[in-house]
């Protein structure tokens, strides 16, 4: 059995990349069954997509997820709903695994069956649909495309469908807003269905509404968000510090044993690449997992959806909408999927603009650098210093959004609509699963890409002379040192930043190779606190990793925008870091 996870969406327009991908797949691939996961507590909004799927002629199973939440405020007759829709309906509570077995049985039972749209749009609209279908008979449309669905899309004014059937002459077509009329008729059909199978119990989400008066307040909402974000990083650093210290102690002991029993090239490789290089990266696994844990908790409580809504107002000031904020938040995990998530943005201008500023979001790969430097130079305030990196990235992204939006990408922000779920107590299982799903990406990367880059750094730092000072990496670092000297960076730090272009985690790994297992002690004598903070800022702002740049090229389909991101980030990183050093030297 092959399972394809399509993007989450509300419709099948041709303006959104994600909606177009989903629509094309359903039309061209004709899957045996389509599982439509519906929020049970908001059937009016979610069943709209169900009707669209039925119009496409696909075989649908409706899943009423979060059924426990819905039954707190309403009674749903599942059997009646299934009968009225003409498709199987399965209630589930996914976070507790309830209804999953029933869903699996339904999928196996219904796979391969055919469905027909049941929606009637009234005599006037049905007459128009019939006329268009008659015109379509003269075309050799692919058999996978239902003529009725094409007729509906033409009535809605879908530009892509118009291009496909450009030879059709729609005679005697009245001057109407087909998209508006069809939407009205669909919602009328949904209301009729819900009147027969849903009974309200009382006012919904009363507690959520009360909390939202503060959380979404136009003045209080922003400081509350910043306090929560600050608390998240302080907690993550302090809670993970003891575990990181244990891992660091383990690798230090391992280094002593390897020095005693191994010598020559093998000893150098084990001590330099494996223990000092990769070990220095693995030390920062605990804080990364704790950050992912906190983010998962905030998501499961329903708070992150509210942050997106809250930020819509602020994003509008800088030329974006709340829809852009979601990919930006994803950038805190990894910029690669975050950039790909911009496909959900209908406006091409906003999509490109979001891609351009997304690399300024501090991905988890940069966190080891922050934790290392903050722990060495700002230990008593490490959480606050790390928080400042995330805040600086957000602020600079907003500023550059204004600059780019008024110069290279002029235009106005699009409207933003989002469903706000009720607040709920986080599920331990869901939170831990989300934490692991994100964290295992870092572990996998540590065992593959990062280890490969660390081996490369070890080789470049060991050959051709066998000493670090005469190595290839030293030669490259010393060549670039005059440029980085105003920032207070020596050739080792310069070389680490260079290796960071391949993978940001490799910055710490390379430093581990060059400085050895006593990395913290060596760093404290190599640079001062001002240059250390500038180093963190430079790591935040300079060129994203190779994978992120490849995705920028893929999503923009332009080498111009890719080169633009590389150049502006290099210039921004150097300028801001130099400014910090100059101001810091005057103050301290």
Closest by CA to 432, choosing from 260, 287, 293, is 293
Residue 268 CB neighbours (<10 A): 16
Going along the chain from its start, the domains and CATH numbers come out as: 17-110 (3.40.50.300), 123-200 (1.10.287.1770), 221-587 (no CATH)
Strand partners, 89: 62
Q: What is the DSSP letter of 36?
A: E
Instruction: Give the pLDDT confidence score for residue 388 in this predicted structure.
Output: 95
Long-range contacts of the stretch 100-106 (C-beta < 8 A, 24+)? 103/35, 103/61, 103/63, 106/61
Strand partners, 38: 64
196 vs 75, 82, 161, 193, 224, CA distance in Å?
A: 11, 12, 35, 5, 42
Tell me how far apart the alpha carbons of residues 79 and 61 are, in angstroms, rounded to a whole number: 13
Spatial CB neighbours of 278, under 8 Å, sequence gap ≥ 6: 446, 450, 451, 454, 509, 512
Structure tokens at 407: 């110069």
Q: Which residue has the tokens 């997509």?
A: 49
* Cα dihedral 510, 511, 512, 516 in deg (nearest 10): 120
Rg of the chain (C-alpha set): 28
Find out whether 464 and 472 touch, Cβ atoms under 8 Å. Answer: yes
What is this structure's pTM? 0.73
* Cα dihedral 24, 8, 288, 328 in deg (nearest 10): 90
The number of angstroms, rounded, from the C-alpha of 67 to the middle of its chain's C-alpha atoms is: 27
Closest by CA to 545, choosing from 391, 358, 388, is 358
Spatial CB neighbours of 281, under 8 Å, sequence gap ≥ 6: 368, 446, 450, 454, 505, 506, 508, 509, 512
Instruction: Give the pLDDT confidence score for residue 360 in this predicted structure.
Output: 95
Structure tokens at 498: 């260079």
Give helix 221-261 / helix 367-377 axis angle, nearest 10°: 80
Longest dimension (CA), the chain: 91
Structure tokens at 172: 């005697």
Structure tokens at 10: 């509300």
The SS3 assignment for 126 reads: helix
Instruction: Give the pLDDT confidence score for residue 92 in this predicted structure.
Output: 95
Backbone angles phi, psi at 478, to 5 degrees: -70, -30
**String of DSSP letters for 55-112:** HTT--EEEEEESHHHHTTTEEE-HHHHHHHHTS-EEE-BGGGTBTHHHHHHHHHHHTT
Residue 122 CB neighbours (<10 A): 10
Dihedral class, residue 162 (left if φ above 0, else alpha if ψ from -120 to 50, else beta): alpha
Dihedral class, residue 560 (left if φ above 0, else alpha if ψ from -120 to 50, else beta): alpha
Instruction: Give the pLDDT confidence score for residue 169 in this predicted structure.
Output: 55
Closest by CA to 341, choosing from 24, 14, 16, is 16
Residue 408 CB neighbours (<10 A): 12
Instruction: Give the pLDDT confidence score for residue 123 in this predicted structure.
Output: 76
Tell me how far apart the alpha carbons of residues 155 and 173 are, in angstroms, rounded to a whole number: 9
- Residues 462, 463, 466, 467: is their CA dihedral positive or negative? negative
Alpha-helical runs (H) found in 96-173: 100-110, 123-136, 147-156, 159-164
Tens-of-pLDDT digits for all 588 residues of the chain? 788 988 777 777 666 777 888 888 888 888 999 999 999 988 998 999 999 998 888 899 999 998 988 888 889 999 999 999 989 999 999 888 899 999 999 999 988 777 665 677 777 778 888 888 877 777 777 776 788 888 888 888 877 777 777 655 555 555 667 778 888 888 999 999 999 999 887 655 567 778 888 898 888 999 999 899 899 888 988 899 899 888 878 877 777 677 666 666 666 676 655 666 667 677 878 988 998 899 899 989 989 888 888 888 888 888 888 888 888 888 888 888 889 888 878 788 899 999 999 999 998 889 989 999 999 999 889 999 999 999 999 999 999 999 998 888 887 777 777 777 778 888 898 899 989 988 887 788 767 777 787 788 778 888 887 777 788 888 998 999 899 999 999 999 999 999 888 888 888 888 888 887 677 888 888 899 999 999 999 999 998 888 889 999 999 989 999 999 999 999 999 999 999 999 999 987
Instruction: Give the pLDDT confidence score for residue 260 in this predicted structure.
Output: 66
Q: Which residue has the tokens 């989300």?
A: 434
Instruction: Give the pLDDT confidence score for residue 422 in this predicted structure.
Output: 78
Tell me how far apart the alpha carbons of residues 237 and 378 are, in angstroms, rounded to a whole number: 12
Instruction: Give the pLDDT confidence score for residue 553 in this predicted structure.
Output: 92
């Amino acid at each position: 059995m092959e399972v394809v996870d399509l993007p989450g969406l509300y419709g099948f327009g041709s303006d959104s990349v994600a909606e177009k991908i989903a629509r094309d797949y359903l039309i061209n691939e004709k899957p045996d069954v389509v599982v439509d996961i519906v929020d049970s507590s908001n059937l009016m909004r979610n069943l709209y997509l169900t009707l669209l799927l039925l119009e496409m002629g696909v075989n649908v199973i409706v899943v009423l997820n979060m059924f426990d939440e819905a039954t707190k405020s309403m009674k749903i007759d599942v059997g009646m709903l299934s009968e009225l829709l003409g498709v199987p309906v399965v209630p589930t509570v996914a976070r507790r695994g309830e209804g999953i077995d029933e869903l699996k049985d339904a999928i196996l039972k219904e796979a391969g069956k055919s469905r027909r749209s049941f929606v009637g749009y009234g005599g006037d609209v049905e007459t128009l649909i019939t006329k268009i279908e008659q015109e379509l008979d003269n075309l050799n449309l692919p058999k996978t495309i239902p003529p009725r669905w094409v007729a509906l899309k033409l009535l809605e004014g879908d530009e892509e469908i118009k291009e496909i059937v450009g030879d059709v002459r729609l005679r005697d077509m009245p001057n109407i807003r087909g998209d508006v009329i069809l939407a009205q008729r669909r919602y009328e059909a949904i209301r009729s269905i819900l009147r027969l199978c849903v009974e309200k119990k009382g006012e919904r989400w009363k507690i959520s509404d009360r909390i939202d008066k503060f959380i979404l307040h136009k003045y209080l909402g922003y400081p509350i968000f910043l306090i929560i974000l600050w608390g998240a990083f302080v907690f993550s650093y302090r809670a993970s510090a003891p575990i990181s210290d244990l891992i660091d102690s383990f690798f230090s002991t391992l280094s002593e044993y390897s020095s005693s029993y191994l010598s020559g090239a093998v000893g150098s490789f084990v001590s330099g690449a494996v223990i000092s290089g990769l070990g220095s990266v693995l030390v920062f696994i605990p804080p990364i997992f704790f950050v992912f844990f906190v983010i998962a908790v905030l998501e499961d409580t329903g708070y992150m959806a509210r942050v997106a809504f809250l930020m819509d107002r602020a994003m509008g000031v800088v030329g974006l909408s709340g829809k852009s904020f979601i990919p930006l938040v994803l950038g805190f995990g990894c910029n690669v999927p975050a950039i790909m998530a911009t496909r959900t943005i209908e406006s091409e201008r906003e999509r490109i603009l979001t891609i351009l500023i997304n690399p300024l979001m501090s991905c988890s790969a940069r966190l080891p650098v922050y934790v290392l430097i903050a722990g060495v130079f700002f230990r008593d305030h490490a959480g606050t210093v790390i928080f400042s990196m995330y805040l600086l990235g957000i602020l600079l992204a907003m500023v550059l959004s204004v600059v780019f939006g008024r110069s290279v990408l002029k235009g106005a922000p699009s409207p933003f609509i989002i469903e706000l779920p009720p607040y709920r107590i986080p599920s331990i299982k869901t939170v831990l699963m989300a934490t692991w799903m994100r964290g295992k990406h870092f572990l996998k990367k540590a065992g593959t890409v990062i280890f490969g880059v660390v081996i490369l750094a070890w080789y470049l730092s060991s050959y051709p002379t066998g000493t670090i000072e005469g190595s290839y990496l030293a030669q490259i670092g010393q060549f670039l040192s005059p440029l980085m000297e105003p920032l207070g960076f020596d050739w080792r730090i310069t070389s680490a930043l260079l290796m960071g272009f391949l993978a940001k985690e490799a910055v710490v790994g390379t430093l581990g190779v060059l400085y050895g297992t006593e990395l913290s002690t060596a760093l404290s004598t190599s640079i001062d606190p001002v240059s250390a903070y500038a180093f963190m800022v430079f790591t935040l702002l300079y060129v994203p990793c190779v994978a992120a740049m490849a995705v920028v090229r893929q999503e923009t389909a332009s080498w111009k925008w890719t080169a633009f991101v590389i150049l502006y980030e290099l210039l921004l990183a150097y300028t801001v870091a130099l400014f910090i050093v100059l101001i810091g030297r005057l103050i301290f």
